[in-house]
Structure formats: structure tokens, C-alpha cells
Amino acid sequence: MGARHSALRRTAACLGLLAIVLVTPVSSKGQSMRVTLLGTGTPNPHPERFGPATLVEAGSQRLLFDAGRGVTIRLNQLGIPMREVTAVFITHFHSDHLVGLADLWLIGWLPPNYGRRQTPLRIWGPLGLSKITAGMEEAYSTDIAIRVKDEALPRSAAKFDVNEYTEGGVIYEHAGVAVTSFEVNHGELIKPAYGYRVDYAGRSVVISGDTRFDQNVIKAAKGADLLVHEVVAIPEALFAVNPAMKRVEAHHTTAEEVGTVMSEAKPRLGVLTHYVLTSGPGIPPATKEEVLDRVKTRYSGPVVAGHDLMAIEVGESVSVVSPQ
């Protein structure tokens, strides 16, 4: 992992940040997974929190969960060419989880070193995904036709390899890596919505997706090595001036509820992501530290406030490698 540590140090330096913090020591024995939070934000165009996206590296595979705004920038910061994304998994069809998909798909096909993908982009998601990808192929058909003729790019690679499912279960198995989907409750009208569990070499990572407090997350994450969970923390004062934010809050898991989820699931490490932290005139947003403190009112186990480019090593021990 030395080269990746160096890349993170360079990224941290560019961002004017300190380099690396180790939370738990890394064991060199056995196989491990590496989880990187590429984007911990929401639709809010925040310069430090890109759109939702989580990278799981297991063996030789690089699995991307959701493709929010700026996902290609984060991958490039890590020195990962877009062609090296093995598969993409979509949790649900809100735009903030999809808006970076066309960028990943198309620039991953271009001639520079960050691209050069020679096959269709493989993608998994709930029923309805093929309609979205077909729309993207139609929307960019002129660009694709031009580049095929002008740059001699393979047309076959400017496509999606779509794999849809209609219920939870094991949806992906390859070279010892298994991905299991499980349905979550993101709201009565926001269906389908799923979370994911990744298993590899006796290690397990659970990604909640967008969800209210849901027993399905607890069930999937029981005893997992890592639980990456979304969180909402909207100031009460904001509801009086912007009542719509109360409806937004109702679609997510409060910090206290996240604490309950983690206290029941008992992962080796919990990580917060997808911060729904809205503000208004004279009403500042909650800080990540405040959100973490609220989680800890119900959970005394290991949990950290995630941020973009935080990397977690999941092996015999769990470690966080983190630009701060």
C-alpha cells in the first residue's frame, strides 16, 4: 500500500491538509479490502464533499458504489484510471447518486491514460437502470459517433453492460468477491432503494445507501467489519423557515438513529457518510464533529466521521488512512 499512501500524501498536500492518521494498526497477515470514500456529500454543491460514491477494492477488483458528482476527479486524484473500475453498483435513482455516471462512462473510453476502456462499462442496479443507461447512450449518441470516426475509438466500449435485479440477494460473484443487495426504506415513493454488502476473504463491508432507520441495515451489518452509513442532521430552526427540509429529514437516518443501528449491528468500525447538513440565513449547518457526538450518545463503539478521500483498510485489523 506504499504507493497509495504516497498518492494520498500528495493529494493531502495539494489540499493543504495533513497527511495520514492511523486509527488502528494494519496487520500485514491475510487478505484485506480497502474502502475509499470518494464522495460524502449530497445534492448540495459543496467544494469539499463531492457526490455520493464509495470505492471498494478487493483482490484485483475495484467496485464502485454510486457515482455522484466529481467521482472521476476523486479517482484521478488516487491515480486510478477509469478503465480499472471493475463494476458499478447503484443504490437508487436520485440524481445525486447518478450525475457522475455519464462522466465515468464516457471519459473512461477516451484515449488518455485515465481512459482507454475497451469494453462496455459493467453496471448493476435495481430494475429501471437500463432505462437510465439507454437514455444516456441516446443523449450522447452524437458525441459517440464523432469520436468513433475522429479518434478511432471502439464503439463497442461506448456502451453499458447492464445487470438489473428485482429483489435483494447475491447479485455479483467473481474471483472470491460477493456483493449482496438488501432493500432499504428511503421513503414511500423512493423505490427501488437498496444497500449493499461486500464479502471477500472473510471480510465484510456494508454500505447503507440512502435510508431511514431500517432493520434491514442492521441485519445486513451484524458483525460486519465495516459499516458505512448515511446521516442527517438538520437544525430544528430551519424547519420554520423552510418546511420542505422536514420532508428531507424524514427520508434519512438521524445521527441518534445511526447510533442505534451501530449499537445493534456492532461493526468493527462505523463510518459516517452522505451528510445531509442543510443551513439557512442565520442558521449554520451542523459540523461533522457535532454529528459524531450525537451518534455517540447511543453508541460507544468505534465510529469516525468520514470525509472525501478517507480510506479504510479492512483486514485482521481495521485502519483509517485519512487526509485531515
Which residues, listed in sequence order, are joined to residue 291 by a DSSP beta bridge?
Answer: none
Q: 3-class SS at 42? A: coil
CATH node for 2-321 = 3.60.15.10
**Banded pLDDT at 321 (limits 50, 70, 90):** confident
Residue 152 exposed, middle or buried by CB count within 10 Å (0-12, 13-18, 19+): exposed
Residue 3 has pLDDT above 50, yes or no: no
Please state which of the ranges 6-15, 123-132, 241-250, 308-317 shows the lowest mean pLDDT. 6-15
Residue 2 has pLDDT above 60, yes or no: no
Average pLDDT in the chain: 92
The separation between CA 291 and the C-alpha centre of its own chain, rounded to angstroms, equals 19
Digit-coded pLDDT (tens) for 193-209: 999 999 999 999 999 99
The grid coordinates listed for 120 are 462496455
Using CA atoms, how far apart are residues 116 and 30, in angstroms rounded to an integer? 33
Residue 183 has pLDDT above 60, yes or no: yes
Which residue matches cell numbers 447503507? 208
**Banded pLDDT at 5 (limits 50, 70, 90):** very low
Return the percentage of the chain with pLDDT > 70, whole number: 90
Using CA atoms, how far apart are residues 76 and 288, in angstroms rounded to an integer? 26
Using CA atoms, how far apart are residues 161 and 172, in angstroms rounded to an integer? 13
pLDDT in the model for residue 230: 98
Domain ranges of the chain: 2-321
CB atoms within 10 A of CB 194: 28
Return the percentage of the chain with pLDDT > 90, whole number: 89
* DSSP secondary structure of 75-141: HHHTT--GGG--EEE--B--GGGTTTHHHHHHHTTSSSTT----SPEEEEEETTHHHHHHHHHHHTH
Please give the average per-residue pLDDT across 54-73, as a whole number: 98
Q: Is the peptide bond before 235 cis (omega within 30 degrees of 0)?
A: no
